[in-house]
Structure 1
Amino acid sequence: MELNTGQSWGISINPIEQNFNIYNEQIGLVTGLGFEFNNYKFDNNIVLVDDPAGVTYFLDTVRQFSKNKLTTIYLNIPLILEAQIPVGDDEIHIGAGIIGGVKIGSHTKYIYENNGNKMKNKQFEDFNLNSFRYGVTARVGYKGINLFANMNLSSMFEDNKGPELFPVMIGFSVVGL
């Protein structure tokens, strides 16, 4: 199963965030509640099959997919230790911590042509994805712009029911809109 990392992406939305001051408004804990949507695109015509004995997949040699992806949705709770470093009237913030999540949905989507007609196939299944996950996060930012990196320490799939994959997300966030 080969992932197209250049075409895979994710977005996180954290509607609830709370900061707790620990020391002098410069060190604190950040927590909250958020949703994370990930789209994992495959390099070739991989078809995932939901099988209770384990994730199985096969290479479809009949259809040529123009889109082939797995989408996951998780409800996340971060716990981040953050430092605020004054720089003039603003501040640089640096943080590191953990993120836990519970899966609330997953599906595959395949788009292909059949006799000149565009066909779309969505399959809402579990695919033996881990129901719970945990990982680490680091972020650094100035004003309302942050760079971040998240790495799962738990495998994407349940033990012995799929490939052992540990997703990583790197990107930027905008805070205070």
Structure 2
Amino acid sequence: MKTLTKLSVVLMLVAFSITNIKAQKNQSLSDLRDIGIQLENEGHFELTEEVFTEDANAEFSEDIRVSRRYRKVKRGRRFFDDRDIDKYYPRRGTQNFINIYVGLNNYLQDGELPNSNSILSLQPLNSWYLGLNFDNVTHVFGPLYLDWGAGVSVQNFSFENTRTRVIKGPDSISFTEEATVSGKKSKLTMSHINLHFVPTISFGRYRSFRVGFGGYAGYRIGSHVKYKYDDVNGNNQKDKEKDNWFINPFRYGARATVGWDFFDLFVNYDLTELFEDDINAPRLNPVTFGVIF
């Protein structure tokens, strides 16, 4: 009797396992059918009925293989899951990104970089640019896309001469050297809200080469100067002065981008000058070179 009872329990477990396996296969088949229909609707390939067979023991066609990371369709073409794409240029519509911009600043004075002996000369590696953007890529037609978005940025201009001081007059901005201190840091910082529109040619939808050229505009939301130094008594000092410093409240410029896969470079050139036109100040046009993450 005990033997029969054990045998009955074993048979029940086997039957339950077979039923469960068939249910899982049917669910997998349903999931595969849904993926195929989605790819067909996106225009990747034409779905045929024989691909999806109700025979649970049949093998699928070599034309379609599904994995967690990518989908491989006829002639070896690859269709990635959007979650695995760092930079995705859609066949139609708009794709959204959150990007971080990191770069280095300088400026041109009368079309040239300031001489290293100039009081306006900057420390290249300490004159940084940091931006956070909500970017979009919209397909226009063919290989043409529009890269557009909005964000905020902070630009730091760190003077090579750490005793440089920015002096604001009633209608002027001038730069002088504070000879009585031992300078450690001298910088001018400004922040903006920005918009950009960059027509871009992409030689593919996924991990491909792309190049763009367009423009941007911004509104200044803050600016200050900051000095670190040792005074005449050798005491460590730090001064920070918030002001508009006659920096142009609005700016606009030209942007060029080039990229491949997840890697993009950008160059910004301000067509507006750093300081307002109607004041007496050096004529400086900021330029930024950096990477988009």
Q: Answer yes or no: same fold by TM over 0.5.
A: yes
- Tell me how large the CA RMSD over aligned residues is: 1.6
Q: What are structure 1's unaligned runs of at least 5 residues? A: none
Alignment partner of 1:83 is 2:198:
no
SS at the partner of 1:158?
A: coil
Q: What are structure 2's unaligned runs of at least 5 residues? A: 1-118
Indicate conservation of the 8 Å contact 1:50/1:125, yes or no.
no
Which structure has the highest helix share of the two?
Answer: 2
Runs of at least 4 residues off by over 6 Å:
none
The superposition leaves residues 101-132 of structure 1 with CA deviations (integer Å, 9 ceiling, x where unpaired) of 11110000100113333211000011111000
- Written as runs of structure 1 = structure 2, the 5 A alignment for 1:48-59 is 48-59=166-177
Please give the alpha-carbon distance, in whole angstroms, between the structure 1 residues aligned to 2:259 and 2:209: 6
- Look up the equivalent residue of 1:91 and give its one-letter code: S
- Look up the equivalent residue of 1:164 and give its one-letter code: R
Aligned partner of 1:113 in structure 2 is 230
* Structure with more contact order per residue of length (Cα contacts < 8 Å, sep ≥ 6): 1
Alignment partner of 1:152 is 2:248:
no
Cα displacement (A) at 1:5: 4.3
Alignment partner of 1:3 is 2:121:
yes
Indicate conservation of the 8 Å contact 2:166/2:175, yes or no.
yes
- Written as runs of structure 1 = structure 2, the 5 A alignment for 1:103-142 is 103-114=220-231, 115-142=233-260
Indicate conservation of the 8 Å contact 2:144/2:202, yes or no.
yes
Alignment partner of 1:61 is 2:188:
no
Indicate conservation of the 8 Å contact 2:207/2:262, yes or no.
no
SS at the partner of 1:49?
A: strand
Cα displacement (A) at 1:19: 2.1
Please give the alpha-carbon distance, in whole angstroms, between the structure 2 residues aligned to 1:2 and 1:149: 21
Cα displacement (A) at 1:31: 1.3
Alignment partner of 1:12 is 2:115:
no
Aligned partner of 1:163 in structure 2 is 282
Cα displacement (A) at 1:43: 2.2
Please give the alpha-carbon distance, in whole angstroms, between the structure 1 residues aligned to 2:120 and 2:195: 29
Which structure has the highest strand share of the two?
Answer: 1
Indicate conservation of the 8 Å contact 2:120/2:175, yes or no.
no
Structure with max Cα Rg: 2
> Which of residues 17, 32, 40 is equivalent to 2:157?
40
Alignment partner of 1:93 is 2:210:
yes
Cα displacement (A) at 1:29: 1.1
TM-score by length of 1: 0.90
Deviates more, 1:144-153 or 1:108-117: 108-117
Please give the alpha-carbon distance, in whole angstroms, between the structure 1 residues aligned to 2:264 and 2:136: 17
Identity value in percent: 29
Count the aligned residue pairs.
171
Cα displacement (A) at 1:93: 1.6
Q: 1:2 to 1:56 in 2, by over 3 A?
A: closer
Cα displacement (A) at 1:146: 0.6
Cα displacement (A) at 1:49: 2.2
The superposition leaves residues 13-60 of structure 1 with CA deviations (integer Å, 9 ceiling, x where unpaired) of 11x222221014x31112111112111011222211232311133221
- Look up the equivalent residue of 2:245 and give its one-letter code: F
Alignment partner of 1:30 is 2:122:
no
Indicate conservation of the 8 Å contact 1:3/1:40, yes or no.
no
Please give the alpha-carbon distance, in whole angstroms, between the structure 2 residues aligned to 1:145 and 1:68: 33
Deviates more, 1:46-55 or 1:142-151: 46-55
The superposition leaves residues 128-161 of structure 1 with CA deviations (integer Å, 9 ceiling, x where unpaired) of 1100011101011011111111111110011133
